[in-house]
Amino acid sequence: MRKNFLIGNFLPAYGSTFGRIREQKSGISGLTPEQLEERFRQRSNLRRTRRTRYLIILQFGMVIALSASIGAFQIKFSLGESEDFTIAAQEIVQMEEIVQTEQLEKPPPPPRPPIPVEVPNDVELADDDLDFDSFLDLEEAITDAPPPAPVIEEDTEPEIFMIVENPPEMVGGFEALLAELKYPEIARRASIEGTVVVQIVVAADGTPRDPIIVRSVQESLDKEAERAVMLQTFIAGTQRGRPVPVYLHIPVIFRLN
């Protein structure tokens, strides 16, 4: 307001002075003094209007900036989901006085060590003549030593193999076994057929022993199969080039034509 007041007071003086100058040069400009004064008045009014508008805009901007700053400090910012924080109840610690326990019964004292008792020396040693000049001859043969105990060899049975490099073979094959078989009459009448499996041990010399019926069909057929198998001769199986006893399973088939 003060600036506007100064400008308003200054313009009339300025206008009068400029008017006198215009009057002196009116012949050159071609405008009357009233026209020039009106034109300068319009220009001064335009400048005053622009300055006033600038001040208003500046004040309005400052108000907006100040309001935005105040509002920014009042906004609560939160990152992610809001979490509720609860204050856990404070745990109350109670202090208790521990009374020292007293031992009412005292432990018995340790037993005292026995008092040494002097033993009377009533034993008299015989006056033997000890020869301290004797020496030990290590090269002398020991004649008083007892003879060594005889070594008793245990009759251990040789190990029976399940699988060997060369398994035992039946001499003559199954044809020789079939030649010894006789179909039992009771099984023939009952039309009983089947396969009997006989387990034997082929010894190192090729003889069969220890027959066991692993798979049975009927008692008469089992006995006949065992009898025919035990009549056969075998070539012993070998392991690392030497004959060894081996388990062998032989199937015997009984069928009626």
- Could you read off the pLDDT of 16-52 as tens digits, one per residue? 554 555 554 444 456 788 888 888 889 889 999 999 9
Q: Write out pLDDT tens, residues 123-161.
A: 555 555 655 555 556 665 555 556 677 766 655 677 889
Sign, Cα dihedral of 36, 42, 44, 50: negative
Q: Write out pLDDT tens, residues 154-197.
A: 556 778 899 999 999 999 888 999 889 999 999 889 899 999 99
**E strand or H helix that includes residue 176:** helix 173-180
User: Under a CB-based contact definition with an 8 Å cutoff, are residues 253 and 181 in contact?
Assistant: no
User: Under a CB-based contact definition with an 8 Å cutoff, are residues 215 and 196 in contact?
Assistant: yes
Instruction: Indicate whether 230 pLDDT > 90.
Output: yes
List Cβ neighbours of 237 (8 Å cut-off, separation of 6 or more).
161, 164, 166, 167, 168, 202, 243, 244, 246
Instruction: Indicate whether 7 pLDDT > 50.
Output: no
Q: Tell me the C-alpha distance between 12 and 17, whole Å.
A: 9
What stretches of the chain adopt beta strand conformation (E)? Answer: 169-170, 194-202, 208-215, 234-235, 238-239, 242-243, 246-254
State residue 111's pLDDT score.
79
Instruction: Indicate whether 116 pLDDT > 50.
Output: yes
What percentage of the chain has pLDDT greater than the value 70?
Answer: 63
Residue 25 gets which letter from DSSP? T
Confidence of residue 223 (pLDDT cuts 50, 70, 90): very high
Write down the mean pLDDT value for the chain: 76
State residue 4's pLDDT score.
45
Instruction: Indicate whether 70 pLDDT > 80.
Output: yes
